[in-house]
A and B are shown apart, each in its own frame.
Chain A
């Protein structure tokens, strides 16, 4: 069965510092992996996704993630944090069965950015 584990429910960084949010997955088939961001009182917005091909995926707002099969990881990074990056981030894996897909989410990591 597919599952996702996000290490660290809260991460705090200084403005301008590297952002690293960790995600490990479990999947019995080659996974499709996603990162979503959720700002307060809002829905989820797709940051980036990995399906096939290049393992380093670039997304919006300067974020990127690297799929590492050997480590079953899909960590999210950004070289320099902005105050506007403060939000909750969710990693998700696709469960595809019966001809359709659905997302299985991790518990989320809340990112705080301080001056």
Chain B
């Protein structure tokens, strides 16, 4: 059982460029989350997918951010016209279907973004 996989692990980009991160959740996990973590802070929720439907977007997700999960499997997070404030680790997580709020959410290794 492989874990949540994220690619690339590290990305350095110039301000104004677009970047895209990919996340492959644990197989059969229909719930997928993106979080952002800046230095010295806990992860902050960005968006949630159930299958291919994006059910929630945080106010942290500005218009420059877009996330997709076209076939309910892998997901991409794109940041357009990157700014230095976008420098952070972007974490993807997934959990299994089912009711209740006790389902464990499994995190990937994260994708570090540095905007220079």
Contact = CB atoms under 8 A, between A and B. Distances in A.
Given A43-B108, A43-B109, A101 B103 contact: yes
Interface stretch (B14-22, B36-44, B61-69, B79-87): B36-44
Nearest to B112: A41
13 contacts: A9-B40, A43-B91, A43-B109, A46-B104, A51-B101, A94-B101, A95-B101, A102-B33, A102-B45, A102-B48, A106-B42, A107-B40, A107-B41
A104 to B, nearest CB: 7
A107 B103 contact: no
A26 B47 CA distance: 22
Nearest to B31: A100
B50 A36 contact: no
For chain A, which range describes its interface: under 10, 10 to 19, 20 to 34, or 35 or more residues? 20 to 34
Given A32-B102, A42-B109, A42-B110, 6 more contacts: A44-B107, A49-B102, A100-B55, A101-B103, A102-B48, A107-B40
Which 6 A-B residue pairs are closest in the complex by CB-CB distance?
A: A105-B42, A96-B101, A51-B102, A101-B101, A44-B107, A43-B107
A103 B45 contact: yes
Interface in A75-107: 90, 92, 94-96, 98-107
For chain B, which range describes its interface: under 10, 10 to 19, 20 to 34, or 35 or more residues? 20 to 34
A98 B31 CA distance: 13
A72 interface: no
B101 A44 contact: no
Interface centre among A43, A90, A92 (most CB of B within 10 A): A43
Interface string B74-116: 0000000000000000010101000111111111111010000
